[in-house]
Amino acid sequence: MLRLVPAEAGTGIVFRRIDLPGGPEVRALWDRAIESPLCTTLVEDGVTVSTTEHLMAALAGMEIDDAVVEIDGPEVPIMDGSAAPFVFLIECAGAVELAEPRRAIRILKEVRVGDSRAWAALRPGPASAFSFEIDFPHPVIAQQSFGVTLHNGTFKNQLSRARTFGFLHEVDKLRSLGLARGGSLDNAIVVADDGILNEEGLRYADEFVRHKIVDSIGDLYLAGGPILGRFEGFRSSHALSARLLRAVMTDPSAWSVDDMVEPMMTPAWETGPLAATA
């Protein structure tokens, strides 16, 4: 179960574990993230919240700055494997302006992590722009690239419905280890040797790389506000995104805080519970 609750200006995004005594909270910030290849996990005072990236991407794309996210377990529900259900939840609640301006993280110089095989970088730029390139040794995916600037609904219209994906042999291995028990064709694109197993096919011809951008947007929203700069990823991962954000935020010469013209936003009212397989 997941519920969005309005919050005061300056709260940021906070996860509240209502299944635990006292409802401990985990703030959605870069220094709470641990490097993980398969999802983004936040840890604070021994309390964890995993699989935060799709919800964080939806909050970033819908320009929600302050909210409390109540969940009744250690994982954000996976829903259909995309950010679209969370966008729908935010649209149903609506948003209200708060009495403080939005604060953005402006990138002042290039910062890059990784190597020639896989890397991620942030560079100066006038807006929140994301580009990504993937290269898989499988004919269904192969090489794909995509780029987008976040403005005027581009997240909802061009990215939000792109689903996470995995290979059939990886799913079988995870299940043999007791993991991914809730995974199915309802919440991921599953790629087999001879094609994808999902009967409805792909939502975009390049859905795979678009979803990688969704992940990157969610991971970088852990900066504590929107990024004013250009993110570029090449075969990157959640772990590299966490490493990149840590490299930027621990270097005072790499960024500054800018007040934006737009006010901070929070959900207009508490949403009803949203439940799905975690």
Active site residues: 238
CB-based contact 247:258 (threshold 8 Å): no
Tokens standing for 154?
């581009």
Phi, psi of 258, rounded to the nearest 5 degrees: -115, 135
CB-based contact 40:237 (threshold 8 Å): no
Distance CA 191, CA 106 (A): 38
22 Cβ neighbours under 8 A, 6+ residues apart: none
